[in-house]
Amino acid sequence: MVSTSAAVRSGLHFLPTPTTQTLSPNQLLLPLTAIVNSQDHLEIGGCDVPDLVQRFGSPLYILDEETLRSGCRHYRQAFHRYYPGESLVIYASKAWNCLAVCAIVASEGLGLDVVSGGELYTALQAGVNPELVYFHGNNKSIDELQFAIETGCTIVVDNWHELETLARTKAEGGRMNGNPPSPIRILLRIAPGIDCHTHEYIRTGHRDTKFGFDLDQLDQVFAFVSQKPALNCVGLHAHMGSQIFELQPHVDLAGMMMRWMSKAAQYGLPVKELDIGGGLGIRYTEADDPPSIDEWVRVICEGVVRVCAEQGMPLPRLMAEPGRSLIGSACVTAYTIGSHKVIPGLRTYVTVDGGMSDNPRPITYQSVYRAVLANKLSAEATETVTVAGKHCESGDIVIKEAQLPQTHPGDTLVVMGTGAYNYSMASNYNRLTRSAAVLVNAGEANVILQRESYQDLIHHDCLPERLVEKG
């Protein structure tokens, strides 16, 4: 394992080693297949990274298929190992939703969590089985609810407004496609009131949250749902937050949710599914020490099995919704270095050709990343520089203190751990075109997201006739 105290001597320091190869994907800094090749270049999925930049331009998201598939398998195998009942792993596609990612995850036997009509549409277009899709969100529109009902996916109901809307919609029209009305399959989302340590913006389990039903209201909610034949409440859901390294809150959550399952059953609700959300963190820097996927799944499974035994309850179909820990470490972003600004005695800024538009996490959550020079991987890290983005915003800093060899314009800088919440939160700020993404595997690189063009940028712009210069 990479020692947290080891000095960063070169980019080689971050490569997987025979020891780190046995780590869970969420504990890796670089993807599983990362190596240094004979040209002293970083290679991922059998592809030379500077060469990928030559071919596909930069910034470029490089997604390693093997690491992503390995994450899916770690989750599924851990559930099989530790849970005697039925289980389902649902990929929280908000981490990165696009056709190729949905297709890969589905091919590994995972279900999908979507939070908008757009994510649902993409999942369906990728061929995901709607029966394995769970539709989340705290303010789903009527159109989104109808879309979800038509496709037959499960709706994770967040609040009273949604509950009442669903009961009414169903009573009024049933299925939009003319099929005989059948009850809508729902889970109820609970705000569990459990605190955990992570950034304030990505905590959701505490009581003061916009998501889910407050515990004080659950009796009323259960009573309401039990009176609505249009609603088929098959289970409960909770999610505590993201980038969490602690295990105990998840054990507590599993225990308390089982007690609420028991309560729901007393109201006659046919609850059989327990979805305990996602949240497992990943290693962005050597200082991060997340538990493995295996450990995370084990403590949750043991917690549920224990409570079921104590209370004499049947084992639920147990579900988890990982996003970041499945895909975060499977991707890197390659940038091309451009301008430098040296302020003697103060700081050196090294600027890349992207920034907050392709990775808004540093400016949003003060997230810390690590980087290497992909075209001189073994060069000694001799400088501490600030890697700046190219946006017109002083806060657009990719890495505040990066240890790198001397850099030059044209060098390829690779930032690690950009698979989750990077592309999915990307923007066109300053009218930058959104970056391309390639999927790499065994020496092959396939474009999975095309780089946007200037034409794409104005595709939805409209210029009213009266503003067109006559001339």
Active site residues: 392
In the complex with ligand LLP, the residue whose CB is nearer, 307 or 420, is: 420
φ/ψ of 454, rounded to 5, equals: -60, -35
* Under rule CB under 6 A, residue 239 binds ligand LLP: yes
Candidate list 93, 325, 359, 375; residue touching ligand LLP; CB under 6 A: 325
- What residues have CB less than 8 Å from 307, skipping those under 6 apart? 254, 255, 258, 259, 313
Which of the stretches 223-231, 317-325, 442-450, 451-459 binds ligand LLP when contact is defined by CB under 6 A?
317-325
- What track of x and - describes contact with ligand LLP for positions 209 through 238 (by CB under 6 A)? ------------------------------
CA distances from 214 to 80, 264, 385 (A): 32, 15, 47
Which of the stretches 68-76, 276-284, 377-385, 406-414 binds ligand LLP when contact is defined by CB under 6 A?
276-284
Which residues within the stretch 122-141 sit at the binding site for ligand LLP (CB under 6 A)?
A: 136
Candidate list 98, 99, 202, 368; residue touching ligand LLP; CB under 6 A: 202
DSSP bridge pairs for 91: 112
Which of the stretches 19-27, 257-265, 321-329, 429-437 binds ligand LLP when contact is defined by CB under 6 A?
321-329
Residue with tokens 């277009």: 125
* Under rule CB under 6 A, residue 359 binds ligand LLP: no
* Under rule CB under 6 A, residue 421 binds ligand LLP: yes
Shortest Å distance, C-beta 246 to ligand LLP: 13
**Cβ density class 108-123: b for 16+ within 10 Å, e for less:** bebbbbbbbbebbebb
Candidate list 66, 321, 358, 396; residue touching ligand LLP; CB under 6 A: 321
Shortest Å distance, C-beta 158 to ligand LLP: 9
Would you call 411 exposed, middle or buried from its count of C-beta atoms within 10 A (0-12, 13-18, 19+)?
buried
Is the Cβ–Cβ distance between 26 and 295 less than 8 Å? no
The CA-to-CA distance between both ends of the chain, in Å, stands at 68
Other CB atoms within 10 Å distance of the CB of residue 284: 22
Candidate list 365, 386, 433, 457; residue touching ligand LLP; CB under 6 A: 365
Candidate list 43, 113, 396, 411; residue touching ligand LLP; CB under 6 A: 113
Which of the stretches 77-85, 118-126, 277-285, 334-342 binds ligand LLP when contact is defined by CB under 6 A?
277-285
Candidate list 25, 111, 205, 323; residue touching ligand LLP; CB under 6 A: 323
- What residues have CB less than 8 Å from 99, skipping those under 6 apart? 122, 125, 126, 448
User: For binding to ligand LLP (CB under 6 A), which residues are involved?
Assistant: 92, 94-95, 113, 136, 202, 239, 242-243, 277-280, 321-325, 361, 365, 420-421
